[in-house]
Amino acid sequence: MTAEIRYRRVLLKVSGEALMGEQGFGIDVAVVDRIASDIAEARALGVEISVVIGGGNIFRGVAVASKGGDRVTGDHMGMLGTVINALALRTSLTKMGVDAIVLSAIAMPEICESFTQRAALQHQAAGRVVIFAGGTGNPFFTTDSAGALRAAEMGAAALFKGTQVDGIYSADPKLQPDAERYDKLTHAEVLQRGLAVMDVAAVALARENHIPIVVFSIHQKGEFARILAGAGRATIVSD
C-alpha cells in the first residue's frame, strides 16, 4: 500500500458532531477511539498528519445568537468545546501508542500548549500528530476555516474533511436523497454552485493556496488510509 501514497502531509478536519456517535450530545469514547485508530493507521503509512477538531457536538455560537444572546460569547463557548474534543482525541491516540499533542489557538497553559506555527512544525517534524484546538481563535469563524488556515500554515498537501456524508453532492443529501454525487470538482465550482458542505471562507482560503480538499465519511472505518493510498470513496476538490 505504501508505494502509491497520494499525499505525504495532510491536515484532517474532524467534525465535532461525529464524536457524539448515537448520543445527542457530547463525546462517545468508543467513537473517538475508532477515529484515533483511523489516524494511527494512516500515520503508519508514513503520512504526516495534523488534525483540526470541531465542536458542534458540544456547542455552536449561533445557538446563543439565535436566542438573542451575544454571538461572540457563544463563539467563545464553541471554541472551548473544541478544546474538550481535542483532549479526548489526544487521550485516545496516546492510549494506542501514537505520540500526539494539543495546541490551542486560545492560551490555556495549564491544559495544553498554545498554538504557534513554529511549535506546530517542530512537533510535526518530531513525528507527533498535532491536534489544533480552539479553531482559528476568533469568533465568526468555523473549524472548517481553521482547517484551511492550519493546512496552509503546516504546508499540508491536502485538507481532508471527515464528515457525516461520503462526498459532495449537488444538494445536501440529507435533505435531497436523490442529489447527484461528484467524484471531482474545482474550488470554483464548489463556490459558484453554493455546495454547502464547507463554508465559503474555508473553500476560498484553500483555493487561494492551491490546497486540494478531500471530503469523505469519517464514519467509514479505514477510509482515511484507503484514500491516502489512492483508493477509497471521496470527492476531491482541486484547481
Ligand X SMILES: O=c1ccn([C@@H]2O[C@H](COP(=O)(O)OP(=O)(O)O)[C@@H](O)[C@H]2O)c(=O)[nH]1
In the DSSP assignment, the letter for residue 132 is E
The binding site for ATP consists of 13-16, 56, 60, 163-164, 169, 172
Segment lying near ligand ADP (by CB under 6 A), choices 28-36, 96-104, 133-141, 162-170: 162-170
Give the span between the Cα atoms of 56 and 54, in whole angstroms.
6
Give the span between the Cα atoms of 156 and 237, in whole angstroms.
15
Give the span between the Cα atoms of 28 and 22, in whole angstroms.
8
Residue of the chain from 23, 73, 164, 186 that contacts ligand ADP (CB under 6 A)? 164
- Residue 197 beta carbon to ligand ADP: minimum distance, rounded to whole angstroms: 4
Grid coordinates given for 127: 513525528
Residue 214's nearest CA partner among 28, 47, 20, 37 is: 47
The binding site for UMP consists of 55, 75, 136-143
Residue of the chain from 10, 12, 51, 78 that contacts ligand X (CB under 6 A)? 78
Phi and psi angles of residue 169, each rounded to the nearest 5 degrees, phi first: -120, 170
Binding mask 142-181 for ligand X (x = CB under 6 A): xxx-x-----------------------------------
Residue 31 · residue 21 · CB < 8 Å:
yes
Establish if 217 lies at the interface with ligand X (CB under 6 A): no
| Binding interface with ligand ADP (CB under 6 A) | 15, 17, 54, 56, 144, 163-165, 168-169, 171-174, 195-197
